[in-house]
Amino acid sequence: MTTSAARLAGIEAPDEPLPVFRLLRTVVDNPIKAWPRALYRERVYRSRVVGRDTVYVMSPDLIRAVLRDDADNFEKGEIARRALGPALGDAILTADGPRWRWQRRAVAPIFRQERIRAFLPAMIAAAVRTRDRWHALPSGAEIDIAHEMMRTTFDIILNTMLPGRGSIDAELMERSVTSYLESTSWIVALAMVGAPRWVPYPGMYRARRERKRLHLMLETLILEAKQTPGERNDLLSLLLNATDPETGQSMDSIDVQNNLLTFITAGHETTALALTWTFYLLSLHPEIEQWVKDEIAAVTEGGPVHPKHIDALAYTNQVIQEAMRLYPPAALIVREARRDIELGNEQIRAGTTVCVPVYAVHRHTKLWCEPDRFDPSRFEPEAAKTRNRYSYLPFGAGSRTCIGQNFAQIEATAVLITLLSAFQLRLRPGHIPEPRLRVTLRPAGGMPMRTLRRW
Ligand code: HEM
């Protein structure tokens, strides 16, 4: 299949490394803009800022070493702990070693394949609520799809992971998370120059306030759960009943809060962004949108979406995969070397930050043909089979790979087909949504789109 080549929102990489002050200013604005062109062409790249090394790894064999084969020599490290630790504590996403392992084991049952399948009706129901909300608007009304997708996936995470667990104010939560994440680029810039943790930065007090607000919401939820014990099988019960096999200890309230917040944020932000960028790409490629629509119509035969339809939507899934290649929601994976180690020909000293710049790997000129072009046929089964596993990493790789991958894939398909069957979405003319890294890859200025009814 051929596809048209619309000019897509992207990043103009600087030809040369930026001088230090410009580099730091750029990192605060959007860290990806500071990545030099070499990241899109070379196997590995070393940057040195005020005497501190950061090594970027783009070659699949080296990525495999960092994330899988030599994973014991790399940990989440200082940057992840500084950026996310204040909000997420030492929970599953940020913890290392045995503490990480038992938290991962504790929540694994909720991510078993048959369990995830059982969540599908709740996912479709949430998408239908969004569809109905849009139907109440005049046709052609403009909405921010980024915000709408956050709302939808938030609805899904609560109704699958914490069903019947009282209410959390979705709007407030989204504002607090966004506000918190805004400050993280300052934290990264300060960590890059080795500034101590106490150094203040713009937005620090607001971030603290938002963090407190988020934890208060969860504290209430946990208190309610403890007051009404009973046979439940949701995420909160798994966390409350988990015991560390090494110490025999259970999680205290703070651990439970940190993990809940991790799952609520990691579990809805990323999928919402995958959907937002997919709608963006479809809006600019009407012929691909038409193929997706045709596939949906053929599979569902014009009726409502059913769980059995999800696996049959091969082309639709390729579209989502390609959207996550161009705009990976988790665009940067960061580790820190625990000891001196050799990586390819690079000597890595203990304490060095090692980055897998997923956004650049997915647009690497040696790994992808015409990397900036939207072309879902890259994910046809034959093409995907010949590709190195470590050149496509939307969900990471190795033991720290995303625990919610299957959940997210089913969820994204369910939401996309429910909404696309009812609406055509068109980007506001002239709007260019710069992909901005704030832990996740968000469209700067949102994603304003017109909703045009199909029925
Ligand atoms: C399109 C959607 C998603 C994307 C692109 C994504 C991406 C990722 C990536 C790249 C990692 C690995 C980070 C690293 O190695 O440092 C990760 C970890 C994680 N993700 Fe996802 N994720 C998505 C959806 C979800 C969902 C739906 C959930 C939960 C319901 C979830 C929960 C987690 C958790 C708990 C971890 C930490 C796992 C660990 O360290 O053991 N994610 N995700």
Kindly state if the Cβ of 396 falls inside 6 Å of ligand 1.
yes
Asked if 371 contacts 364 with a C-beta cutoff of 8 angstroms, the reply is yes
Share of the chain above pLDDT 70, in %: 97
Q: What is the pLDDT of residue 244?
A: 80
The rounded Å distance from CA 402 to ligand 1 centre is 4
Kindly state if the Cβ of 402 falls inside 6 Å of ligand 1.
yes
Q: What is the pLDDT of residue 230?
A: 66
In whole angstroms, what is the distance from residue 262 CA to residue 180 CA?
Answer: 13
Q: What is the pLDDT of residue 5?
A: 59
Kindly state if the Cβ of 443 falls inside 6 Å of ligand 1.
no
The rounded Å distance from CA 396 to ligand 1 centre is 8
Kindly state if the Cβ of 93 falls inside 6 Å of ligand 1.
yes
Strand 435-438 and strand 440-443: the pairing is: antiparallel
Q: Which two tokens stand for residue 164?
A: 């019947």
Q: Which two tokens stand for residue 310?
A: 């999800």
Of the residues 263, 265, 402, which should be mutated to test ligand 1's pocket, given the most ligand atoms within 8 Å of the CB?
A: 402
Atom 20, ligand 1: residue with shortest CA distance: 402
The rounded Å distance from CA 357 to ligand 1 centre is 16
Question: What HEC string does the chain produce?
Answer: CCCCCCCCCCCCCCCCCCCHHHHHHHHHHCHHHHCCHHHHCCCEEEEEECCEEEEEECCHHHHHHHHHHCHHHEECHHHHHHHHHHHHCCCCCCCCHHHHHHHHHHHHHHHCHHHHHHCHHHHHHHHHHHHHHHHCCCCCCEEEHHHHHHHHHHHHHHHHHCCCCCCCCHHHHHHHHHHHHHCHHHHHHHHHCCCCCCCCCCCHHHHHHHHHHHHHHHHHHHHHHHHCCCCCCCHHHHHHHCECCCCCCECCHHHHHHHHHHHHHHHHHHHHHHHHHHHHHHHHCHHHHHHHHHHHHHHHCCCCCCHHHHHHCHHHHHHHHHHHHHCCCCCCEEEEECCCEEECCEEECCCCEEEECHHHHCCCCCCCCCCCCCCHHHHCHHHHHCCCHHHCCCCCCHHHCCCCHHHHHHHHHHHHHHHHHHEEEEECCCCCCCEEEECEEEECCCCEEEEEECC
Confidence of residue 1 (pLDDT cuts 50, 70, 90): very low
Over residues 7-55, the pLDDT tens digits come to 899 999 999 999 988 988 998 889 999 999 999 999 999 998 878 899 9
In whole angstroms, what is the distance from residue 424 CA to residue 198 CA?
Answer: 49
Helical axes 120-135 vs 405-422, angle rounded to 10°: 30
Kindly state if the Cβ of 367 falls inside 6 Å of ligand 1.
no
Kindly state if the Cβ of 333 falls inside 6 Å of ligand 1.
yes
- Give the pLDDT mean for 270-278: 97
CA-CA distances (angstroms) from residue 448 to 47, 140, 240, 444, 455?
Answer: 36, 12, 41, 11, 21
**Please, what is the average pLDDT of the chain?**
90
Higher per-residue confidence, 317 vs 110:
317
The rounded Å distance from CA 15 to ligand 1 centre is 32
Confidence of residue 75 (pLDDT cuts 50, 70, 90): very high
- Give the pLDDT mean for 116-142: 93
Q: What is the pLDDT of residue 231?
A: 67
In whole angstroms, what is the distance from residue 21 CA to residue 251 CA?
Answer: 43
Q: What is the pLDDT of residue 196?
A: 81
Q: What is the pLDDT of residue 338?
A: 95
Q: What is the pLDDT of residue 414?
A: 95
Asked if 186 contacts 130 with a C-beta cutoff of 8 angstroms, the reply is no
Q: What is the pLDDT of residue 303?
A: 81
Q: Which two tokens stand for residue 216?
A: 């208060």
Closest CA to 131 of 416, 447, 422, 450: 422
In whole angstroms, what is the distance from residue 98 CA to residue 19 CA?
Answer: 40
Atom 19, ligand 1: residue with shortest CA distance: 402
The rounded Å distance from CA 399 to ligand 1 centre is 12
Q: Which two tokens stand for residue 129?
A: 């609520």
Atom 11, ligand 1: residue with shortest CA distance: 402
Using the predicted structure, report yes or no on whether residue 195 has a pLDDT greater than 90.
no
Q: What is the pLDDT of residue 52?
A: 85
Q: Classify the C-alpha dihedral 346-350-352-357 as positive or negative.
A: positive
Strand 435-438 and strand 346-348: the pairing is: unpaired
Using the predicted structure, report yes or no on whether residue 86 has a pLDDT greater than 70.
yes
Higher per-residue confidence, 176 vs 429:
429
Asked if 437 contacts 332 with a C-beta cutoff of 8 angstroms, the reply is yes
Burial 129-161 (b: 16+ CB within 10 A, else e): bbbeebeeeeeeeebbbbbbbbbbbbbbbbbbb
Q: What is the pLDDT of residue 342?
A: 95
Using the predicted structure, report yes or no on whether residue 164 has a pLDDT greater than 80.
no
Atom 18, ligand 1: residue with shortest CA distance: 402
Q: What is the pLDDT of residue 271?
A: 97
Q: Which atom of ligand 1 is nearest to the CA of 104?
A: 41
Using the predicted structure, report yes or no on whether residue 301 has a pLDDT greater than 50.
yes
Over residues 329-378, the pLDDT tens digits come to 999 999 999 999 999 889 999 999 999 999 999 999 999 999 999 999 99
In whole angstroms, what is the distance from residue 136 CA to residue 133 CA?
Answer: 5
β-bridge mates for residue 348, sequence order: 341
- Mean pLDDT: which of 57-66, 170-179, 239-248 is highest? 57-66
Q: What is the pLDDT of residue 4?
A: 52
- Give the pLDDT mean for 403-418: 95
In whole angstroms, what is the distance from residue 251 CA to residue 28 CA?
Answer: 35
